[in-house]
Structure 1
Amino acid sequence: MLRRGNEGKKPLKEKIILHYDILFKSHGDDSFDTPTFWEEFFLLKAHPDYIEKKFESFVAKDLIQMKDRLNFLFEKCLEYIQCDQPVRVINALQTMSCLFRGIHSVEVGDHGFDKINLLVGFDMAETSMQVLLRCLTAGLTNDHYNTTIKAVILQLLLVIATGTDNISQNTFVEYLMTNEELYDTLLELLTDPVARSRLGNDTVLLLALMVNYRKYEGVNPFVMRLSVLDDELALSCLGSVISSAFASFNKQFVSKQEESKSSGLFSTITNMVGSMFIGDSDEQKQMIKSNEAILLALYEAIHLNRNFISVLTHSHTDATLVGTPPHTPGGTDDESVPSQPATPTPESFVDASTTRNVLSTFLQYTSVVMQDTKLKRNISSTKLCFIILTCITEDQFANSFIHDENMSFQVCIHKMPMRHRKVKAIVEKPGAPLACWLLDLTVEFIVSHMMKDLPFSQHMRCLGIIHRLMCHEKKCQIRLSYNWRELWTALINLIKFILSNESAIFGRWKKGIFALFTLVINIFNMFITFGDTFLPTPTSYDELYYEIIRLHQVFHSLENFVLRHNANPEYKDVSSRLASSMVNVLAIVRHFNPKIEQYMKDNNMASLTEEEVLEIVKSNYDDLTLKLQHSLDHFERYSERPKETHFFTELVRSISEQYRKTMVFDNIDLQDFMHF
């Protein structure tokens, strides 16, 4: 006789899941209220997925009925976090992370205090949270904990900080703000080489989030302390984490480009239809999104702390950033000092002779991110990149460094493939000051973003960066060895493009277009009025006039644009301002064009070479009358408030959402910790 099969039997549940089922009952079984239950509970490997699914099935009423059990479970997690057995500590930490994630996933009321009451209990909240944070900060600096345990602790802190979309409405974060040790602990993690290699990105993420907690509503201690930080080691380590993240992204981008080059005909067809942006891969999308936090940290460091500007200038080799210390499972003393990889691989390092700094790596990163501004994630990142560059170009020390002819760098400014040009993955150019590469970056953005759906705000920031660089060059009489013709041509073509598509662009931006045109013309006025103080050679000044004359029809079209709108009361003030700024450009056109035409007539010539036009320009400066333009070297300094408060609020919201969406609990092999 055959035995009946086991098909009808339910699969056996893990013991920890049976314990969860007992705990997450609103009433009934109290068998958990014994010491032996908890001794066993925290020895069993935590099952985060099961806990989260439990919370997904709950509604507010269920949590209210389970409040006492949740409070008791929180209390027990806190108790075992403080024990001296790593297995129990890890399980308690992961269980508590699940509780915070779970309590935030259920709508329980309009106030965060309801969640505090349900999870911790009002009576014990202040004391329990203070004890918890003391334990977590102590654990992050505990020499007996390896980076695996510290990663779980840091993960819990991030779970707390990212519990809500709007961090300023997360009442649990207030407890983090009042903990005086947390800021110093994060800096200590950054300055530890081993911890930085494993925990650097998460540490920087938490620091950036804390800086943005209610930053517009009152005194934020993280903002205050970061703004006065003068510890060169801590600042350098922060810069190292940021630069490493960008370098990793850049390396992957170049690798993807090489793959696309070798993919043959399909790649060629793809390029032709404009779908060339390498970031279309899921991995690239994820990296751009995850790097928002790194960008935010870079912005806050530059914006708040003037000492950080010097970090941007620190040179390093890519090898110092890419190399990662090995991980010793369950190790303690071995991880208190940096160790070297036993067998370095070619992938571990890049050419150590390639010298870079944070800023050069960031410029390359920006050249990639700005390529496709049709994607929302890229619009946000591009905007932040340009805001960061605006802050840099407003700083005297940073300007001095990036214009230093003795500091030569090679930066790969990636160019977006377009129908009318072929672009190599990497264009070899001689070394130059970083200001030259920054100008290349801005020119590339202008050239590659002439589109009917004009990214107006980014063009304005881009022009503002150019203007700030020129103001410094004029002030310090720096003759930068740069091919200015590329910039002049790009600016004139931008005017031409907008005028050619006026119906599509003007209707959306209206007065803004006048502001853009005025800024472009004033950049030309800077060259015309002060060019003799910062253009590299007298010939450069002649070439400026040549470009204005060569493309004079664009300026005539712009003059007609002004005349058309001058009669409209809505645009009278802005059109008059633009007309006033155009006086010198039009004077140059009207002065030299008749002389060129007369020369052609006298010599019976149908056209002139560039050299012939330049000779006419050189010989006719004397009777050219120009108007002195005032305040050309003035600009409105960047201010976060009030213009950008909404942007940064939404950015922090996006970062929090991204962390919650992508966070995973490490599958830790607890056997490595059993010998403790």
Structure 2
Amino acid sequence: MEPSPLTQDSRPEIFQPKIIRLYEALFKEEEEDTELSDGFWQEFFLHRPDVGGLKRILDSIPPDEMLHLQSHSQQLVRRAISGVKQAKPPADEIALETLTVFLDAALTKKYTNPSSDVISVLAGLHDADAVMTDFVAVLDAVIRNGRSIPLRLKAVRATLSITAAGFHTALPSYFTHRDLFPSLMKYIQDCENSTQVAPAFYLLGLLTNYNKFEFQNPYRLRLDDFVNDAIIQKMIRGFGENCLKLRDAYVAVQEDLPEGWTLGSTLSYIGLGVLAPGSRPLTPTPAAEETKSLFGALPGPEAGTLLTTYDFANANKVFCFHLVSLQAEKKPDASPLSAFLSLTSYLFQHAHRSARAASYAYLSLFILQVLVEDQMLVKKMCSDESKLSVRLCRQRQPYLPLVRSERVPAAVILDLMVDAINHNLRRRLDYDFYILCLAILLRTISYLSRTKTRLSYHWSELWRTLLSFVRFLTTYESDIRSNYKSSEMVDTLVGLLAFTLSAGENFLPDPASYDDLFYKLTESGDVLVKFRDAYRLSSQTGSIQSLINVSSHYHSLLEGNEGGKARSKNLSPREVSTVIKQGYETLSIETSEGLDRWDKFREADYKPVLKRIARTVVDDAKSLAEFL
């Protein structure tokens, strides 16, 4: 039999999607000046985008080559804008998603002249204003009144992507020339869940921080007078949910909540955990190096919403009120404030791991300082009506006492400051961090003293922490005193200790808490003298001398004679307490005026820190935009 004239072509090993072939045709260097046909673009925007494929192709193109291909990239931008503007599904969504991927890849390349080269790739120097203004207008319209929430969400993500990727170029200025704030608020109002709110809230923080120290940023001004309660509450609830997700990422690395004494834990203790009701295999604990690496990558990039929260809190009293007041939608869920305080606890214990982690810890400090400076807010945070339960980090020693019951937020904030001070001690001290911690303590305690609010709290932990800090500063004086900021930090620490000493009877809940302060000062007498000399604090300075005088007074009493007999060197706690009480009768405390005075938080004082934080958030926004 003769062979058939019909032959079967062999199948290709890999089928290449048509859209990938179109991407390759678009970015062929040999056709850089060709005006692609209408038919090409019609077909281009009929196919669902292959995000991974487009990104791979764009990432493989060097910056110089991307400039050579600017004719085609400019066509892509113009055609995509036109496709979004026509609002015909599914072409508008395809155009928007394609444009988002392209912009993210094109803007993050390291060009020789970033601003001018980016403009050349996107629109050309002559047409830049017209094209980019049109693009922002189209995004604005879709965010405000797009035909569906998913499409509007894509527009928010596209704006977040271009703002983050081009933050250090002139591109975000187009979003400040056209005010997107009303559209973003309308979008948030229409959102159905916090997942949809998050990108818009994140974007608002980036836009607010764009060159805000160089010119009057319109978004910053918008935050001042925004009073829509419903939208603010929706943003804060979304922020609270985000805080819990970020907190749970730390817990996933290392479970740190002590288990209650149950039948299961008892059986586990004696090696029979498998018999416990509902027993299940324990999650393997990562090795030390792996744990260190996992913690080093936290918090996740979603932490950038802390920047928006800080900017809103610093500008808007209504926002602060809702942040402090908003309750959980249902029990036993955490309120937004509880979620924020819990995340902050984990941030503080791990702030030492990287500059990035420290940046987010700073944002929490800024927010807390703004809150405790407002007398109405701190009053609310000291009220029994505001009691809440907060899971605090216990992943590193020393541990604070475990409190399972609800407490007023002010007590939780004191715990946060104690943890922050204890867990970030190192020779190359972060002075601004410690100045903020001490400032928050001073503001909180000065309010308690002025209002005679007796706060139930484990005060001995605070006394121990502050005096341990004095001991640390004395030990490493040669490393610390050379920095000009050390004097402000030392003065604040001494003033805080002196203030608690002179005003303790106004806010301490019982005599035992006051006695404990005097006893710990007595124990630290030698250290206080060395501290004074090491930092050249004049003996005439009232605050440090008051501390030393109190220590000397009780030291002499504890070592002195009683009824003609020398005191035993091994006094019982009760005997020490008796001596402390007796010593009040002969003790004279020199009170220095103004120890409880403080200057209001000024953002400009932390300009370098905030600029560094903004860079961190922008970098995280770039990575976040890929997964939203």
Using the alignment, how far apart are the partners of 1:12 and 1:429 within structure 2?
59
| Aligned pair partner of 2:181 in 183, 187, 191 | 183
1:558 matched to 2:528? The reply is yes
Cross-structure match for 2:501: 528
- Rounded Cα–Cα distance in structure 2 between residues aligned with 1:236 and 1:265: 37
Deviations 1:290-314 (A, max 9, x none): 1331111111111121221101123
Return closer, same or farther for 1:4/1:656 CA change in 2, 3 Å cut-off.
farther
Q: Is the 8 A contact 1:190 1:234 kept in 2?
A: yes
Gaps of 5+ in 1: 321-351, 567-574, 667-676
Counterpart-to-counterpart distance in 1, 2:298 and 2:480: 35
Report what 2:265 is aligned to: none
How far did 1:495 drift?
1.8
SS in 2 for 1:415: coil
Distance verdict in 2 for CA 1:599–1:540, change over 3 Å: farther
Residue 657 of structure 1: aligned partner: 619
1:585 and 2:584 correspond: no
The equivalent residue for 1:624 is 587
Q: More displaced, 467-476 or 512-521?
A: 512-521
Per the alignment, residue 339 of structure 1 pairs with: none
Between 150-159 and 431-440, the greater mean CA deviation after superposition: 150-159
Q: Quick check: 2:559–2:569 contact (8 Å CA) kept in 1?
A: no
The amino acid across from 1:157 in the alignment is T
Q: Which amino acid aligns with 1:175?
A: Y
CA separation of 1:458/1:4 partners in 2, compared to 1, >3 Å: closer, same or farther? farther
Task: Quote the offset at 1:638 in angstroms.
Answer: 2.1
Aligned partner of residue 135 in structure 2, secondary structure: helix
> Over residues 148-199 of structure 1, what are the superposed CA-to-partner deviations in whole Å (9 max), with x where a residue is unaligned?
x2332222112210123xx2x322212111223x2111112222241x4332
Rounded Cα–Cα distance in structure 1 between residues aligned with 2:211 and 2:567: 74
The alignment status of 1:208 with 2:205, answered yes or no, reads: yes
Residues 392, 398 of structure 1: 8 Å contact kept: yes
Distance 1:310 1:120, change over 3 A: same
CA distance in 1, matches of 2:301, 2:165: 17
State the partner residue of 2:559: 597
2:437 aligned with 1:462: yes
> CA separation of 1:109/1:252 partners in 2, compared to 1, >3 Å: closer, same or farther?
closer
Superposition deviation, residue 71 in structure 1: 2.7
Q: Which amino acid aligns with 1:367?
A: S
CA change 1:506–1:577 in 2 (3 A) is farther
- 1:640 is matched with 603
**Equivalences for residues 444-455 of structure 1 within 5 A:** 444-452=419-427, 454-455=429-430
Q: Counterpart in 2 of 1:129? A: 132
Post-superposition shift, 1:373? 3.0
Aligned positions of 1:141-220 closer than 5 A: 141-142=144-145, 144-147=147-150, 149-164=151-166, 167=167, 169-180=168-179, 182-194=180-192, 196-220=193-217
5+ long unaligned stretches in structure 2: 259-279
CA RMSD of aligned residues (A): 3.4
CA shift at 1:67, angstroms? Answer: 3.4
Query: Shift of residue 87 of structure 1?
Result: 1.7
Matched residue SS, 1:316: coil
Per the alignment, residue 409 of structure 2 pairs with 434
Query: How far 1:4 sits from its partner (Å)?
Result: 11
Distance (whole Å) between structure 2 residues aligned to residue 111 and residue 649 of structure 1: 19
Preserved contact between residue 48 and residue 665 of structure 1 (Cα < 8 Å) = no
When normalised by structure 2's length, the TM-score is 0.86
Q: Is 2:473 aligned against 1:498?
A: yes
Q: Is the 8 A contact 1:416 1:448 kept in 2?
A: no
Give the CA deviation at 1:245: 0.3
Aligned to 1:232: 229
In structure 2, the partner of 1:70 is: 73
CA 1:506–1:62: 2 relative to 1, 3 Å? closer
**TM superposition shift of 1:464:** 1.6
Aligned-residue offset at 1:577 = 7.6
Residue 303 of structure 1: aligned partner:
314
What is the alpha-carbon distance in structure 1 between the residues aligned to residue 70 and residue 309 of structure 2?
Answer: 41
Question: Displacement, 1:639?
Answer: 1.6
Seen in structure 2, the aligned counterparts of structure 1 residues 374 and 36 have a Cα distance that, compared at 3 Å, is same
Q: Is the 8 A contact 1:99 1:119 kept in 2?
A: no
Aligned-residue offset at 1:64: 4.7
- 1:65 Cα deviation after fit: 4.3
CA distance in 2, matches of 1:308, 1:142: 25
Shift of 1:109: 4.8
How far 1:400 moved relative to its partner?
1.2
For residues 483-509 of structure 1, the C-alpha deviation after alignment (integer angstroms, 9 at most, x for no partner) is 222211221122223334445x446x5
Per-residue deviation, 1:264: 7.3
Question: Mean alpha-carbon deviation: is it higher for 70-79 or for 617-626?
Answer: 617-626
> SS at the partner of 2:327?
strand
Structure 1 pair 34/576, CA: closer, same or farther in 2 (3 Å)? Answer: same
Counterpart amino acid of 2:215? G
The CA distance in 1 between the partners of 2:399 and 2:598, in whole Å, is 36
Corresponding residue SS for 1:162: helix
Shift of 1:367: 0.9
Aligned residue identity for 2:176: M
Q: Secondary structure at the match of 2:46?
A: coil
Counterparts in 2 of 1:632 and 1:308: CA distance versus 1, 3 Å: same
Letter in 1 for 2:348: M
**CA contact under 8 A between 2:438 and 2:492: conserved in structure 1?**
yes
Distance 1:209 1:83, change over 3 A: same
Mapped to 2, the partners of 1:138 and 1:210 lie a distance apart of: 18
The aligned residue for residue 90 of structure 1 is 93
Counterpart contact for 2:349–2:419, Cα < 8 Å: no
Structure-2 separation of matches of 1:510 and 1:559: 21
Alpha-carbon distance in structure 2 between the residues aligned to 1:460 and 1:558: 20
Residues 256 and 394, structure 2, Cα contact 8 Å, conserved in 1 = no
| Alpha-carbon offset, residue 62 of structure 1 | 4.0
Letter in 1 for 2:494: I
Query: Which residue of 519, 522, 538 corresponds with 1:546?
Result: 519
Offset, 1:443: 1.7
**Are residues 1:118 and 2:121 paired?**
yes
What's the CA shift for 1:124?
A: 3.7
Contact 1:316/1:355, CA 8 A, preserved across alignment: no
CA distance in 2, matches of 1:118, 1:518: 54
Superposition pairs for residues 566-581 of structure 1, below 5 Å? 566=536, 575-576=537-538, 579-581=541-543
Aligned-partner Cα distance in 2 for 1:158–1:578? 57
Structure 1 residues 27 and 640: CA distance shift in structure 2, 3 A: same
Equivalent residue for 1:392, pick from 359, 371, 377: 371
Which segment drifts farther, 93-102 or 292-301? Answer: 93-102
Greater alpha carbon shift after TM alignment, 593-602 vs 379-388: 593-602
Q: How far apart are 1:578 and its partner, in Å?
A: 8.6
Does structure 1 retain, via aligned residues, the 8 Å contact 2:525–2:552? no
- How big is each residue's C-alpha offset from its partner over 1:25-49, in whole Å with a ceiling of 9 and x where there is no partner? 4565999744333222211122344
Identical positions, percent: 20
Counterpart CA distance in 1 for 2:320 and 2:509 is 27
Quick one: which amino acid aligns to residue 395 of structure 2? M
Take 1:604 and 1:455, find their aligned partners in 2: how far apart are those partners?
Answer: 44
Cα distance, 1:102 vs structure 2: 4.0
- Equivalence for 2:335: 357
**Distance in structure 2 (CA, Å) of the matches to 1:205 and 1:653:** 14
Match of 1:221 in 2: 218
1:80 to 75, 78, 83: 83
Kindly provide the amino acid, as one letter, of the partner of residue 354 in structure 1.
P
* Distance in 1 of aligned mates of 2:257 and 2:593: 51
Classify 1:363/1:40 alpha carbon distance in 2 versus 1 (closer, same or farther; 3 Å).
same
Using a 3 Å threshold, how does the CA distance of structure 1 residues 137 and 447 change in structure 2: closer, same or farther?
same
Length, aligned pairs only: 602
Mapped contact 1:312–1:357 kept (Cα < 8 A): no
Distance in structure 2 (CA, Å) of the matches to 1:102 and 1:444: 41
Q: Secondary structure at the match of 2:387?
A: coil
Determine the C-alpha separation between the residues in 1 that align with 2:431 and 2:290.
Answer: 23
Tell me the SS of whatever aligns to 1:406.
helix
- 8 A Cα contact 1:562 1:579, kept in partner: no
1:322-374 per-residue CA deviation (whole Å, 9 max, x = no partner) reads: xxxxxxxxxxxxxxxxxxxxxxxxxxxxxx42264322221111111121233
Q: How far apart, in 2, do the equivalents of 1:265 and 1:54 lie?
A: 40
